[in-house]
Structure 1
Amino acid sequence: MKNDMGISYLPTFTIESEIKSGDLCEIKTDLSSKTITAVCAHHKNRWISPLMQLFIDLVTANEK
């Protein structure tokens, strides 16, 4: 995280301690969307471990 380059759109609660310590700084924007999209992909013909299946189940729970 300390390479002095890059911008990321993260929920504030995930980086509160880094903001307080000065390791990261917040950039105010006019963005109105609070949605963050994540993508989980896996090869359909490969074995899925029980932990990976649990993760897939958790992230797709609202879709069912």
Structure 2
Amino acid sequence: MAFLGLRKWPTPALQVWKPLWPFVTAGFITMYGVSKIQDLAVRSPEYAKDPKNPYGALIAKEQEAAHH
């Protein structure tokens, strides 16, 4: 007997993920793009010396090492 059309055996994972692959791929691409944009924004000259920037000390050390 099927309950609401569901069968007794489990659905194979491939049947579940096959229609979802474009959304998963787009999610990873979006997360990568946002992280790159965030990194560029944090390292911009305007915010690199801002005392509120949590990465300010790290950026200052990198810039100092690059100049020597």
Q: TM-score range by the shorter chain?
A: under 0.3
Q: Structure 2 length normalisation: TM-score?
A: 0.25
In our comparison, the structure showing a higher alpha carbon Rg is 2
- Using CA pairs below 8 Å that are at least 6 residues apart, which structure has the higher relative contact order? 1
More helix by share: 2
Q: Structure 1 length normalisation: TM-score?
A: 0.26
